[in-house]
A and B are shown apart, each in its own frame.
Chain A
Amino acid sequence: MTTVPIDWYLILGAVLFTIGVLGVLVRRNIIIIFMSIEIMLNAVNLVFVALARQLHSMDGQVVVFFVMTVAAAEAAVGLAIIIAAFRNRQTLNADELSLLRW
């Protein structure tokens, strides 16, 4: 079976990352922004796994393992912040949560 070149995976990763960036830029719902960040993390994971396969090195997969750990920690803290913000401001709109804006 012929395999697709590594570049296809890298371009797919770039497309996914761009979708994540667009989500952060366009959406104002803070939970959706958060999910877009997860898409970006996963796009990077895809590139790491593809390059690990290409280079026959386990290092890339270990990095993905660490990225997943950081994503789990980030989700726990981030969602706690979202709940605290919602409790105080009754909104999830990122434009209205401008307390820390200079």
Chain B
Amino acid sequence: MGPILFCVFAVLLISSALGVIVNRSPVRSALSLVVTLFLLAVIFLFLDAQLVAALQVVVYAGAIMVLFLFVIMLLNVQEDRQIMTRLGMRAGAAIIGALFLLGAIRLLIHAPSAAGGGMTGATPAGFGSTERLAEVLFTRYLLPFEVTSVLLLVAIIGAVVLAKRSLE
């Protein structure tokens, strides 16, 4: 991914992510989040992660965001009158954000990878394909994969129990 292309996508990504937290209407926030997820999927493609990019679109931008929009519209959420309700919150948030960002970037600057240079050379053939990912997933990560199925089962039961009108 060339520098110009990267900068274009980075600016789009950051502005759409900011759109999620500055929009007063929750529906607009959710749509902004869909744009963010799609842009991330494109970046994943540039990073040789085809399957992850496809999953990002199908699972995140598709399933999870539909769930969000469904809940927003089901609850008929009103627009927030103002984003920041308390006095001094703006300044506090700015300070915390700046500190957090500085800390993260400072950590990165001291990371060994910061020695410079571009990305490492071309990846081996088939890198990021379904085949390669499945190979690793079903050998080294087999136990976590099985635990994931239990997690999903628990989530389904939990969602059903919570959504029931009364517990008896």
Contact = CB atoms under 8 A, between A and B. Distances in A.
A80 B119 CA distance: 42
A38 B64 contact: yes
Contacts of A62: 133, 136-137, 140-141
Interface in B118-158: 118-120, 123-124, 127-128, 132-133, 135-137, 140-141, 144, 148, 151-152, 154-156, 158
Contacts of A74: 155
A23 B86 CA distance: 15
Contacts of B155: 72-74, 76-77
Contacts, number: 227
Given A14-B108, A79-B68, A66 B144 contact: yes
A35 B77 contact: no
A97 interface: no
Interface string B27-60: 0011001001100100110011101100110011
Main secondary structure of the interface of B (DSSP, over half): helix
Contacts of A80: 158-159, 162-163
A5 B108 CA distance: 12
B108 A68 contact: no
Counting chain B CB atoms within 10 Å of each CB, the highest count among A1, A12, A26 belongs to A26
Main secondary structure of the interface of A (DSSP, over half): helix
Given A8-B6, A76-B156, A28 B101 contact: no
A81 B75 CA distance: 13
A29 B80 CA distance: 8
Contacts of A46: 40, 43-44
Interface of A: 1-12, 14-23, 25-29, 31-32, 34-36, 38-39, 42, 45-46, 49-50, 52-56, 58-59, 61-62, 64-66, 68-77, 79-84, 86-87, 92, 95
5 contacts: A3-B119, A27-B80, A31-B30, A35-B33, A83-B74
Given A9-B47, A62-B141, A68-B59, 7 more contacts: A5-B118, A18-B101, A56-B123, A61-B51, A77-B159, A83-B74, A87-B165
